[in-house]
Structure formats: structure tokens, C-alpha cells
């Protein structure tokens, strides 16, 4: 028969062992950070989303193991963001990553406490997303793609690439009023670049064909497309209409040239999404969004689609082609 003291030692040893053992699987899962991501288009159409996942991996996070990522894709329908944001808040996510202005607006409307990381908003101060870039305040921080130089640079690239260019159409999505600021930047830059502008607004994909017809009637020599969720989803159609109407076109990011648009110039989106992972990491480690300055882009890229240039009969001068970060042949 086991001695009483021996029994006590065994019971005490079991108690210590149980207290040191890892918690059961459900308890472990409850401690895994959960991130919500609001994308304007689907992940297959957003290769930059992979850069966010890569950024997480660089920081030691593996999706499904020590971090959970809830992806929500609006597929160009900004009206879907409100329901998605409310859903993510209901899931009690630790951070929301919002990719464009309507997504950020929806996230801010859904929560005043859950940290929000912006990826590529335009004018985050003017829209009221943050108090200032240096001191965001509130629960929003992240990155902005907006710089004062980007829109004038796109106009200048068109001027240099298209011989004799004197009139440029500016295509913008009026359902996102904040984009009007980009049109105003183009209007300020146009006299210095030496071109006249024809501003054409659209509100749905159904407006695109008529918009390009209006540009052709207005004798535009090229098109500057401003950013929006709807226009991003319809970038291939925009490229087709540009070719159909013989209009060389430039878009707001380098990667838009992959859709068949002649040129794309802007911040490197992959770097923006990869850097967003750093903000998530800082917040998960206890940093307050209010204290994390909003970062402006430091890496820009110019992509030229020479297949489209050949179709349009445009000869890109060596001075422009040599500045390209990537050429599609």
C-alpha cells in the first residue's frame, strides 16, 4: 500500500505539472491576433495583398498559426465596405487594415477604438482620417500614397512621351468626392506642363464608354486616369477603350500598365502593403495608432507597356523609356 506522504507528493507533482502545461487548443486560439483586411478588389486582382502577407512573414507571423487574417473583398463596390467593417468589428479583430478611402471611412464609422491601418488613402488629413501626418491622433495611422509631385509628374510624362501633346483629358470617379483634389492638382500643374485639360467624370462602369467618346470628340491627345476603387476594378476595360479611341493613357500606379494601359506611375504598391505589416506589428506589440506617424511613399515606379504603345502607334522616346523601372514588351 502506498504511504500517505508518497500520495501527497504524487498529487502535488501532478498539480505542478498541470499548471505548467500549455493551455488547451481553444485557449491558445483565443490568444492568436486576428487582423481584418478590407480590399477594394479581389485578392487575385490585387497582387499587392501578397506583399502584406510577405511582410507579416518577415516579422515572424504565419497565417493560420500565430496570426489569423480575415480578408474582405469589395470587388469595386464601395457600398460593401460598411457591412464588411461591421462584420470585422463583430469578430473582435485586433487591427483593421483598410486599403482605400471608402474602406477607411467605413472602418472609422464602425469603430472608434479598434486600430485602423491605412494603406493607400489620398489626402488623409484633408479627409479627416488623421489630425496630421506626424501626430495622427485617434485610432487611425498607416501610409498614404498622396504626394504633391505625383499628379504633375504623370502629366509631364505624358507630355514627354506623346509628341505634340497639347490637350489631356482627366478621368475621375465622382462617387469618391475626395478624388476631386487630384483633379485640382492636375489643373494647377497643367499650365506649367504646357497642356490644356478636359475634365471628364464618371459614376459607374456604364459611363466609361461615353466618357471616352467625349474625350475623342473633345480632341484630347491623351488621358490621365485618377485613382478610385471602381476605376481600378475596370482598368482592363479602360485600357481597351483607350486603345479603341486611340488615346494614350497613364494611370496612378505602375502596375496599372499590366492591364494594358500605356503607362503607370506612382508609389510602389507592393512596398506600401509590405510596410503596412510593420504598422500591424507595432500595434500588436502595444503601440497606439495615435503615436505612429503616417508615412508617405519613398519608392516610386514607372511602368511602360510597349505592346500598347505599338498598338497605338506611339514611339516612346528613349529619354522616357530609360527612366522606366519596368517595360512590358
Taking the C-alpha atoms of residue 115 and residue 93, their distance in angstroms, rounded to an integer, is: 9
Beta-strand (E) ranges in 66-115? 68-73, 95-98
Distances (CA, A) of 31 to 92, 111, 160, 276: 12, 21, 55, 22
Find residue 201's DSSP bridge partners: 172
pLDDT tens by residue, 55-90 = 999 999 999 999 999 999 988 788 899 999 999 999
Q: Is 37 exposed, middle or buried (0-12, 13-18, 19+ CB in 10 A)?
A: buried
Taking the C-alpha atoms of residue 223 and residue 271, their distance in angstroms, rounded to an integer, is: 26
* Cα-based angle 208, 182, 204 (whole degrees, multiple of 5): 25
List the end-to-end C-alpha distance of the chain, in Å, as a whole number. Answer: 87
Taking the C-alpha atoms of residue 221 and residue 106, their distance in angstroms, rounded to an integer, is: 38
Q: In what order do the strands lie in the sheet with 326-328?
A: 196-202, 167-173, 222-225, 249-251, 263-267, 300-305, 326-328
CATH 3.40.50.2300 domain extents, the chain: 27-146+269-299, 150-267+301-328
C-alpha cell at 68: 489569423
Are the C-beta atoms of 288 and 265 separated by less than 8 Å? no
Are the C-beta atoms of 242 and 220 separated by less than 8 Å? no
Taking the C-alpha atoms of residue 247 and residue 226, their distance in angstroms, rounded to an integer, is: 15
CB count in 10 Å sphere of residue 17 = 9
For domain 27-146+269-299, give the CATH number: 3.40.50.2300
Residue 317, CB half-sphere, CA atoms under 13 Å: how many? 10
- pTM of the predicted protein model: 0.80
- pLDDT value at position 263? 98
Are the C-beta atoms of 124 and 251 separated by less than 8 Å? no
C-alpha cell at 131: 489630425
C-alpha cell at 285: 506589440
CATH topology of domain 150-267+301-328: Rossmann fold (3.40.50)
User: For the stretch 224-246, what's the b/e string if a residue is b when 16 or more beta carbons lie within 10 angstroms of its beta carbon?
Assistant: bbbbbbbbbbbbebbbbbbbebe
- pLDDT value at position 40? 85
Three-state DSSP state, 309: helix
Taking the C-alpha atoms of residue 327 and residue 329, their distance in angstroms, rounded to an integer, is: 6
Chain length of the chain: 329
C-alpha cell at 74: 469589395
pLDDT in single tens digits along all 329 residues of the chain: 444 444 344 444 444 443 433 333 333 445 799 999 999 887 877 777 889 999 999 999 999 999 999 999 988 788 899 999 999 999 999 999 998 888 999 999 999 999 999 998 878 998 899 999 999 999 999 999 876 788 999 999 999 999 999 999 999 999 888 788 889 999 999 999 999 999 999 999 999 999 999 999 999 999 999 988 889 889 999 999 999 999 999 998 898 999 999 999 998 888 999 999 999 999 999 999 999 999 998 889 999 999 999 999 999 999 999 999 999 99
H helix or E strand, kind and range, residue 214: helix 208-217
Amino acid at each position: 500500500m502506498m504511504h500517505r506522504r508518497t500520495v501527497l507528493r504524487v498529487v502535488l507533482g501532478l498539480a505542478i505539472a498541470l499548471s505548467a502545461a500549455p493551455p488547451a487548443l481553444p485557449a491558445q486560439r483565443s490568444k492568436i491576433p486576428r487582423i481584418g483586411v478590407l480590399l477594394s478588389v479581389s485578392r487575385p486582382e490585387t497582387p499587392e495583398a501578397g506583399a502584406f502577407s510577405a511582410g507579416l512573414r518577415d516579422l515572424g507571423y504565419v497565417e493560420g498559426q500565430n496570426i489569423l487574417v480575415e480578408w474582405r473583398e469589395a470587388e469595386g463596390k464601395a457600398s460593401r465596405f460598411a457591412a464588411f467593417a461591421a462584420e470585422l468589428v463583430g469578430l473582435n479583430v485586433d487591427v483593421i487594415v483598410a486599403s482605400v478611402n471608402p474602406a477607411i471611412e467605413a472602418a472609422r464609422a464602425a469603430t472608434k477604438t479598434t486600430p485602423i491601418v491605412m494603406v493607400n488613402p489620398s489626402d488623409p488629413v484633408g479627409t479627416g482620417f488623421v489630425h496630421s501626418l506626424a501626430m495622427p491622433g485617434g485610432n487611425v495611422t498607416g501610409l498614404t500614397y498622396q504626394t504633391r509631385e505625383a499628379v504633375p509628374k504623370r502629366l509631364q510624362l505624358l507630355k514627354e512621351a506623346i509628341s505634340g501633346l497639347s490637350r489631356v483629358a482627366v478621368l475621375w470617379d465622382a462617387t469618391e468626392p475626395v478624388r476631386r483634389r487630384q483633379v485640382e492638382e492636375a489643373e494647377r500643374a497643367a499650365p506649367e506642363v504646357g497642356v490644356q485639360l478636359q475634365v471628364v467624370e464618371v459614376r459607374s462602369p456604364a459611363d466609361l464608354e461615353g466618357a471616352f467618346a467625349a474625350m475623342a470628340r473633345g480632341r484630347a491627345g491623351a488621358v490621365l486616369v485618377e485613382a478610385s476603387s471602381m476605376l481600378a476594378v475596370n482598368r482592363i476595360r479602360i485600357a481597351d477603350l483607350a486603345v479603341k479611341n486611340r488615346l494614350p493613357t497613364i494611370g496612378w500606379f505602375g502596375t496599372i500598365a499590366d492591364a494594358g494601359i500605356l503607362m503607370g506611375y506612382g508609389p510602389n504598391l507592393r512596398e506600401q502593403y509590405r510596410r503596412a505589416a510593420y504598422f500591424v506589428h507595432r500595434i500588436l506589440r502595444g503601440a497606439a495608432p495615435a503615436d505612429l506617424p503616417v508615412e508617405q511613399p519613398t519608392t516610386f515606379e514607372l511602368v511602360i507597356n510597349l505592346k500598347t504603345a505599338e498598338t497605338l502607334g506611339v514611339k516612346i522616346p528613349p529619354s522616357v523609356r530609360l527612366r522606366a523601372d519596368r517595360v512590358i514588351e
